[in-house]
A = this chain, B = another copy of it.
Amino acid sequence: MIQPNFRHEINGKKLATAIAQDHETNEILMLAFIDEEAYKKTIETGKAHYYSTSRDTIWFKGEESGHIQLVKEILFDCDKDAIIFRIEQTGGACHTGHYSCFYQKLSDDNTTLEDVGKKVFNPDDIY
A interface residue numbers (CB < 8 A to B): 1-2, 8-12, 17, 19, 21, 25-28, 30-31, 43, 53, 73-78, 80, 82-84, 94-96, 98, 101-107, 110-113, 116
Across the interface, name the chain B residue whose C-beta is closest to A71. B106
Complex contact A95–B74 (CB within 8 A): no
* A21 → B minimal CB distance (Å): 6
Number of copies: 2
A101 and B77 contact, CB distance less than 8 A:
yes
CB distance from A4 to the nearest CB of B (A): 10
Contact, CB under 8 Å: B8 / A9:
no
- In the complex, what distance in Å separates the CA atom of A25 from the CA atom of B27? 9
Note all chain B residues with C-beta closer than 8 A to A12.
Answer: 9
- Residues on B with beta carbons closer than 8 Å to the beta carbon of A78: 94-96, 98, 101, 103-104
Q: How far is the CB of A79 from chain B (nearest CB, A)?
A: 8
What 9 pairs between A and B have smallest CB-CB spacing? Answer: A26-B26, A74-B106, A77-B101, A31-B82, A76-B104, A75-B102, A78-B101, A1-B110, A77-B102
* A5 and B84 alpha carbons, distance in the complex (Å): 23
Enumerate chain B residues within 8 angstroms of A83, measured Cβ to Cβ. 102
